[in-house]
Amino acid sequence: MLRIARSTARPALALWLAACAADAGQQDRRPLPEDFDDAPVLSNDSVRRGAPSNDTLPEEGKADAVYPERFDLLALQSPVRNQARRGVCSIFATVGLMESLYIAEGTIANPDFSEQFLQWSAKVEAGGFREDEGSNASVNLDAIARFGIPEEAAWPYEPEPWTTANDPACTGERRPTRCWTNGDPPPSALEAMRWRLPRGRWISSRTRSIKAHMVETNTPVVVGLDFFYQAWNHRGSKLVTSRERFARGWVTYPNDADIADSEMRPAGHAILLVGWDDTLEVPLVDGQGQPLLDERGEPRVERGFFLFKNSWGTGSFGIDNPAGPGYGWISYRYVERYGSAYVSGLPRVEPPREQCANDRDDDRDGAADCADADCAMHASCGGPPSETIVGESRRAMPIPDDDPTGISSEIKITDAGRVRRVEVDVDIAHPYRGDLVVALRRDDVRVVLFDRDGGSADDLVQTFEARGFEGVEAAGRWYLEVRDTAAADLGTLRGWRLRLFR
C-alpha cells in the first residue's frame, strides 16, 4: 500500500510558499518538457455524456462503514500507457480498468488488451460516438461486454490520428467514422480470441461512494471529467501553470479564473482512480499561480485526494509522484463536482484451450501445440484420423428469446472409440447472430463454439472445430446447446451435424 508521511506535508508547503514569495511564481515559468503541451484532451463532452446525476444514484457501501485514511490498488495495475496525440483517454482508462480486473481474476498474468480495437468496436460494433474521436466508459464497456476485444498484439495501438495522408476524407469537422478509428481491424484482429467483462454501471462520484466501491470490490473506478487547464497545469491554459505541480501529478479544485478560462474551450478527460489519501494537502493557487489566502491571510490548502492512473505516458506527467511516473492526485471535490464514475466487475473466464496447430501457447501453460499434453490425441500430433463417425439432427427447434436456459438438441452416437477430432456443422436462422451463444456438450465436457460474435449479421451457418474433446469416448449422447441472450429477435435451430474422427 502506498504510504505518504503526514509530517512531510507542512514542510513541503512552507518551502513551496517561500519559493513563490521569493520570486513571484518564477518556478512556474521555468521551461517545460517538450511534450508538456501535447497531453491530449477531448474537445467535446463525450466522457460524461449520458451520465446520471449523483442525486439519482444510490450511495455505495454501508452508512456506518469506516474507511482507511490511505488505500491503493497499485499491485493490480498494468503499466501506464500513452495515448500519444489521439483524444482517446476514455478508451485507455477503460482498458486500464479491464486489465486491472483481469489481473485480479488471475487467468492472465500480464494482460495487455487492444485500445486500438476498442476504439473501433465502441464506434462500429456498439454504435457510439461515430461522428467524433470521443467516447466514454459506458459505451466502451458495452462494447467489451457484448463483443469483447482481443489482446494488443492482434492490433497494436497507432499513436497518430488519421489525416488526409491516410484517407482524403479525413479532414474538417465532419469525417467518416473510419477516420476516428484509423480504419478497420486487420483480419488477424477479427479472428483473434476476444476477452470480455460483465456489463458496467454508473456509481455516484461522491467520495464516500467511490471509496466504498474500491474497498468492498478491490477494483478501480473510471471517471470522466470536465477539464480545467490550470488545475491540470496544462499548457493549453491561458493562466500560469507549474512544472513542479505537473511533475507531482497534482490536480486541485479549479479556481474561478480557471473555470472562466476553461469554459472558453470546453474539454474533457478520463482517468482511472486506484486509491486515495485523506491526509495529503496541496496548496491552492490563483490565476497567476500565487497562493490563495483565506480571510485571515493564511495560505489555503486542499486536503484529501484520489490517486489516479493517467494515460499521458511516463515521461512528464507525474514523474515525481510516489506511486510512479504517470500517476497523479486529484482532489475529492473536483471528482465529486465535475466527474462521473463508472465501474465493472471481475470477468468470468473460461480458461483457453490449446489449439494444437497454430504455433501459439493458447492455454498459457508453457507448451504449444503438440508439445502440450492436451494435444496428444489431436490429428496433427498423432497422424491422420483413421475413421469418421457422422451424426445428424434435422429437427427444427425454436430458440426462446432472452432466455438463460435456451435449447438443447441431441445426437446419439452408437459407434465406440476414442475421439481425436470433432467438427460441428451448425444451421441457425436468426436476424441478429450477435445474440447467440452455442456450445457442444458430451457428459461433463462442454466447449463453447460461438459466443455473441458477428453483431447484427443474419443467421449462423458455420462449421466449427470443437477443441477439447480429444480422448473422449465417441459412443453416447452429444448435445448442441443454443441460447439467445437478448430480447427482440427470434431464431430457429434448423439442424446440425456432428463429425467425430477417431
Last residue of a domain, one of 310, 343, 376: 343
305 and 160 in a common domain: yes
Please give the average per-residue pLDDT across 214-224, as a whole number. 97
390 and 319 in a common domain: no
In this prediction, residue 382 carries a pLDDT of 65
Which has more pLDDT, 272 or 453? 272
Q: Is 363 helix (H, G, I), strand (E, B) or coil?
A: coil
286, part of any domain: yes
Nearest to 27 by CA among 285, 321, 241, 228: 241
228 and 102 in a common domain: yes
Q: Is 126 within 8 Å of 147 (Cβ atoms)?
A: yes
Q: Is 407 within 8 Å of 482 (Cβ atoms)?
A: yes
In this prediction, residue 313 carries a pLDDT of 95
Instruction: Give φ, ψ of 316 to 5 degrees.
Output: -145, -60
394 and 338 in a common domain: no
- CATH number of 241's domain: 3.90.70.10
Using one digit for the tens of pLDDT, what is the confidence trace for 55-90?
A: 999 999 988 999 999 999 999 999 999 999 999 999
Residue 97 parent element (H or E): helix 89-105
- CATH number of 451's domain: 2.60.120.260
Please give the average per-residue pLDDT across 128-152, as a whole number. 95
351, part of any domain: no
Q: What is the rounded distance in angstroms from the CA atom of residue 120 to the CA atom of residue 404?
A: 29
Q: Is 17 helix (H, G, I), strand (E, B) or coil?
A: helix
487, part of any domain: yes
Q: Is 22 helix (H, G, I), strand (E, B) or coil?
A: helix
428 and 331 in a common domain: no
Give the Cβ contact number of residue 26 at 10 Å.
Answer: 11
Using one digit for the tens of pLDDT, what is the confidence trace for 183-217?
A: 999 998 998 989 999 999 999 999 999 999 999 99
Nearest to 114 by CA among 26, 192, 207, 228: 192
Using one digit for the tens of pLDDT, what is the confidence trace for 358-413?
A: 777 777 777 887 888 777 766 667 655 556 889 999 999 999 998 889 999 999 99
Nearest to 104 by CA among 275, 220, 209, 194: 220
pLDDT over 70, % of the chain: 90
393 beta partners = 496
350, part of any domain: no
Pairing of strands 460-465, 445-451: unpaired
109 and 55 in a common domain: yes
Last residue of a domain, one of 343, 377, 401: 343
370, part of any domain: no
329 and 413 in a common domain: no
Using one digit for the tens of pLDDT, what is the confidence trace for 324-355?
A: 999 999 999 999 999 999 999 999 887 667 77
pTM assigned to the model: 0.70
304 and 409 in a common domain: no
Q: How many domains does the chain have?
A: 2
Pairing of strands 327-331, 250-251: parallel
189 and 49 in a common domain: yes
32, part of any domain: no
Report the mean per-residue pLDDT for the chain.
88
317 and 406 in a common domain: no
Q: Is 248 within 8 Å of 218 (Cβ atoms)?
A: no
In this prediction, residue 4 carries a pLDDT of 36
253 and 124 in a common domain: yes
33, part of any domain: no
For residue 456, the enclosing domain spans 385-501
308 and 173 in a common domain: yes
493, part of any domain: yes
- Please list, residue by residue across 352-389, b when 16 or more beta carbons sit within 10 angstroms of its beta carbon and e when fewer do: bbbbbbeeebbbeeeebbbebebbebbbebeeeeeeeb
- Gyration radius of the chain over CA positions: 27
Last residue of a domain, one of 325, 343, 361: 343
Using one digit for the tens of pLDDT, what is the confidence trace for 350-360?
A: 766 777 777 77
